[in-house]
């Protein structure tokens, strides 16, 4: 009986290996397809960015795949940096990014803790309102009206408030779901020892939120770093950010055909995010996909 089972398994395994062997050609075709897809879909656009950013203005008028006759990458990067005011724009982008991300995480996590733990009709209504921004698009025109009324139009504080208002819902949605999976007994143990709510929150809850806060940081930072639409309405012409200055450089007639400078600008602007991505690749990929497939 046992011997019989073993032979059946043996035959099955052999059949299975045969099946695998049949699909051998795909082991050569698959890597070739991957390389081809990367060359066509990514290689060509990225190649064009780099060679065009290295060309002279005349050479770059009609962007193509050819190498520059004479590499001027360093000069173009320097010109784009100074003419696009990239130093100030970088500071402006960080000035908006850092407080917005920090604020939205702190305020969002605090609210989520209560919304996850307390159960009443009022709390569930508050939760629904709290996550409404996940779907509802921000009312960008009346945001400007309101900011004018309260004197924050065109200011960094106004823009930070708008970014926080837009992303609090996402943070509350992610963090509340996460806190519900943390056993409440952990808090109770601390409370028995006399910890106040604020201590419980910062000493027990916050240290456990690492993964979900990382996800939220990535999503919010990626959005704010690249945002140009809301920035055009709120701080356009008042504050320099990297995307706003790219928009100005590219849409002012002076640079209409200066693809070399525009692409040099794109290169510099993409570099910080690319470095962050390379360093924190695993974190970012698992962060972005978490929550999506549950």
Partner 1 sequence: MPHIQRNEPPRGQSRPATARSTHPIWFVVPAFFVLTVFFLVPTLLNFVYSFTNWSSFKTSIDFTGVDNFTQLFSSGNLVADLRTTIIYAILVAVFQNVFGFALALLLERDTRLNRIARAAFFVPVIMSALAVGYVFQAILEPTGALNSILGFITGQSVNIPWLGSTTWTIVVVTLIHGWKWMGLAMLIYLAGLKTINGDVLEAARIDGASWLQTLQSIRFPLLAPAITFNVATSLLGSMNSFDIVQATTQGGPGGSTELLNIYIFRNFGEGLFGEATAMSLILLVLVMALAFPLIWSLRRRERIL
Looking at residues 86 to 115 of the shown chain, list those that interact with partner 1 (rule: CB under 8 A): 103, 107-108, 110-111, 113-115
Burial of 228 (0-12, 13-18, 19+ CB in 10 A): middle
CB 232 within 8 A of CB 245: no
CA pair distance 271, 279, nearest whole angstrom: 12
Q: How far is the CB of 11 from partner 1 (least distance, A)?
A: 11
Nearer to partner 1, 23 or 82 (CB): 23
Among 9, 35, 58, 125, binds partner 1 (CB under 8 A): 35
Q: How far is the CB of 1 from partner 1 (least distance, A)?
A: 22
Nearer to partner 1, 44 or 254 (CB): 44
Closest by CA to 229, choosing from 167, 290, 148, 139, is 139
Q: How far is the CB of 58 from partner 1 (least distance, A)?
A: 13
Q: DSSP of 105-174, one letter per residue? A: HHHHHHHHHHHHH--SHHHHHHHHHHTGGGTSPP-HHHHHHHHHHTT-TTSHHHHHHHHHHHHHHHHHHH
Nearer to partner 1, 156 or 172 (CB): 172
Q: How far is the CB of 161 from partner 1 (least distance, A)?
A: 4
Question: Segment near partner 1 (CB under 8 A), from 2-10, 68-76, 78-86, 279-287?
Answer: 279-287
Residues with Cβ < 8 Å from 50, sequence gap 6 or more?
73, 263, 267
CA pair distance 245, 248, nearest whole angstrom: 5
Nearer to partner 1, 6 or 285 (CB): 285
List the interface residues with partner 1, window 135-194 (CB under 8 A): 135-146, 150, 161-162, 164-166, 168-169, 172, 187-188, 190-194
Q: How far is the CB of 170 from partner 1 (least distance, A)?
A: 11
Nearer to partner 1, 4 or 149 (CB): 149
Among 94, 182, 228, 238, binds partner 1 (CB under 8 A): 228
Q: Does 21 bind partner 1 (CB under 8 A)?
A: no
Residues with Cβ < 8 Å from 126, sequence gap 6 or more?
115
Q: Does 264 bind partner 1 (CB under 8 A)?
A: no
Question: What is the CB-side half-sphere exposure of residue 174 using CA atoms within 13 A?
Answer: 27
Question: Segment near partner 1 (CB under 8 A), from 2-10, 68-76, 82-90, 132-140?
Answer: 132-140
CB 166 within 8 A of CB 184: no
Q: Does 214 bind partner 1 (CB under 8 A)?
A: no
How many residues sit in the footprint of partner 1 (CB under 8 A)? 107
Length of the chain: 294
* 42 DSSP assignment: I
List the interface residues with partner 1, window 231-260 (CB under 8 A): 232-233, 242-243, 246-247, 250, 259
């Amino acid at each position: 009986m046992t011997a019989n089972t073993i032979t059946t398994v043996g035959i099955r395994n052999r059949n299975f290996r045969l099946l695998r062997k049949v699909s051998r050609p795909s082991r050569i075709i698959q890597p070739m397809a991957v390389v081809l897809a990367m060359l066509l879909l990514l290689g060509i656009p990225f190649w064009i960015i780099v060679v065009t950013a290295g060309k002279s203005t005349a050479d770059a008028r009609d962007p193509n795949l050819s190498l520059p006759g004479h590499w001027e990458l360093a000069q173009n990067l320097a010109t784009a940096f100074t003419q696009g005011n990239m130093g100030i724009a970088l500071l402006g982008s960080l000035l908006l990014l850092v407080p917005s991300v920090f604020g939205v995480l702190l305020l969002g996590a605090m609210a989520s803790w209560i919304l996850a733990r307390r159960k009443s009709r009022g709390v569930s209504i508050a939760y629904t309102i709290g996550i409404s921004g996940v779907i509802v698009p921000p009312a960008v025109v009346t945001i400007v009206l309101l900011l004018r009324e309260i004197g924050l139009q065109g200011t960094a504080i106004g823009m930070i408030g708008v970014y926080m208002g837009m992303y609090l819902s996402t943070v509350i949605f992610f963090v509340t779901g996460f806190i519900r999976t943390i056993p409440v007994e952990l808090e109770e143990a601390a409370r028995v020892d006399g910890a106040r709510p604020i201590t419980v929150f910062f000493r027990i809850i916050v240290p456990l939120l690492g993964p979900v806060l990382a996800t939220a940081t990535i999503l919010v930072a990626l959005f704010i770093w690249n945002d140009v639409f809301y920035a055009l309405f709120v701080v356009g012409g008042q504050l320099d950010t990297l995307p706003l200055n790219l928009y100005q450089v590219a849409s002012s007639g002076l640079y209409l055909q200066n693809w070399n400078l525009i692409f040099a600008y794109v290169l510099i602007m993409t570099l910080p995010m690319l470095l962050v991505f390379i360093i924190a690749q695993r974190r970012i990929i698992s962060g972005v996909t978490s929550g999506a497939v549950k």
